[in-house]
Structure 1
Amino acid sequence: MKALIDLILQFGVLNKQQTDFILSKAKTLDMKKDEYFSEAGKVPRHVGFVLEGVFRFCYYNNKGDEVTNYFVDEGNFVVDNEKFESQIVASEYIQAVTDCKILAFSKKDWDDISNTIVGFEMIKSNVVKKCLTLAMERRSPLVSEDASTRYLSFIQNFPSLVNRIPLSFVASYLGITQQSLSRIRRNIR
């Protein structure tokens, strides 16, 4: 819970009463590996702050192949923000890659926080901006780099994930086959 408040306080000043109010709206949720936090075709119901574990954003392309788009680990928010805020149907899945523990906020509770704490909308906006910028910084180089360089970038950007998630998800994220990833890993060692 301290990690959540520390993150929020990077983007604004809140007093103890306000931070206590935020925490009072959070519900601790345990999720098992492979469970979905949000599903394509459904309206996202929660925003979560990851206390333990790893999530991935994924979708199915027009060939029916599963594509991993992004990973979220401890100390970060997990949400399809645009769909959650607009309360429209999601086009991606958010799946627990490991057993996870999160602080979850319903849409109503998330809105209550914004409506109660003056300036919280700006804090949320800045948190979202930071998350989107980080995602872009991590994804952009993947377009122009060769597979080995993409893997090395992945290790640099997600150092704590390499040994925690299945190689098939890493390969999908990098846009290569699992066999290619195995070959790259052998050559790097």
Structure 2
Amino acid sequence: MKELINYILQFGSLNQQQLAFIEKMTSEIELQKDEYFSEAGKIPNQVGFVLEGVIRGCYYNNKGEEITRCFINENSLVVDYINFETNTISSEYLQALTPCRLIVFSKQDWEELSHTITSWDNIKNKMVQKCLFQKSRKNPVISQDATTRYLEFMKNYPSLVNRVPLVYIASYLGVTQQSLSRIRKNIR
């Protein structure tokens, strides 16, 4: 829980009573490898904070190919926020790539924080902006060559290179697994 509290306090000040209330609004869950935190075709109903593990955001393109959009690891929020906020059906999956431990807020509890803690909306907005920025900023630039994209991935996600299956890294980079293996071999 202290990881979540430290994360929240980066975005604003809260007193002990407010922090205790936040803690009361959470629960801890575990996801097994390949289990979904949220799924396409359903309305996202929780906000998570990753304590342990790696989650990937993915979707299927119009050709039916699975595309990895982002990776979310420890000390980060995980949520399909736009669909969560608007109560709309998601078109993406948030899937555990490793066994994961998360602290979660239900939609009701997340909204209750806004009604109870006056500074929560400001803190929440900053956390969500960081979450959305991390997802968008780290997408590979397809105009770059594949080697540059992989080097960029290694810079942005140094702790994930050996934790995430190559098939998902290749999908994220927009290359085949064979191409990624060649790139990795040439870099060493």
TM category (shorter chain) comes to over 0.9
Question: Where do 4+ consecutive residues of structure 1 move more than 6 Å?
Answer: none
Task: Name the amino acid aligned to 1:94.
Answer: L
Task: Name the amino acid aligned to 1:147.
Answer: A
Q: Give me the whole-angstrom Cα distance separating, in 2, the residues matched to 1:28 and 1:134.
A: 23
Structure 1 gaps, min length 5: none
| Structure 1 counterpart SS, 2:49 | strand
| Structure 2 counterpart SS, 1:148 | helix
| Structure 2 counterpart SS, 1:179 | helix
Residue in 2 that maps onto 1:124: 124
Q: Structure 1 residue 114: deviation in Å?
A: 1.1
Q: Give me the whole-angstrom Cα distance separating, in 1, the residues matched to 2:53 and 2:133.
A: 22
TM-score normalised over the length of structure 1 = 0.97
Residue in 1 that maps onto 2:147: 148
Residue in 2 that maps onto 1:178: 177
1:23-73 CA distances to partner (integer Å, 9 max, x unpaired)? Answer: 111110010000011000000111100000000000011111100000000
Q: Give me the whole-angstrom Cα distance separating, in 1, the residues matched to 2:45 and 2:132.
A: 20
Query: Is the aligned partner of 1:89 residue 2:53?
Result: no
| Structure 2 counterpart SS, 1:27 | strand
Q: Pairwise mapping of residues 128-139 of structure 1 onto structure 2 (< 5 A)?
A: 128-139=128-139
Q: Structure 1 residue 164: deviation in Å?
A: 0.6
Q: Give me the whole-angstrom Cα distance separating, in 2, the residues matched to 1:129 and 1:183.
A: 36
Structure 2 gaps, min length 5: none
Question: Higher helix share goes to which structure?
Answer: 1
Q: Give me the whole-angstrom Cα distance separating, in 2, the residues matched to 1:45 and 1:130.
A: 20
1:117-168 CA distances to partner (integer Å, 9 max, x unpaired)? Answer: 00101111111112222333212x5233110010011011001101111000
Task: Name the amino acid aligned to 1:34.
Answer: D
Residue in 2 that maps onto 1:58: 58
8 Å contact kept, 2:78–2:131 = no
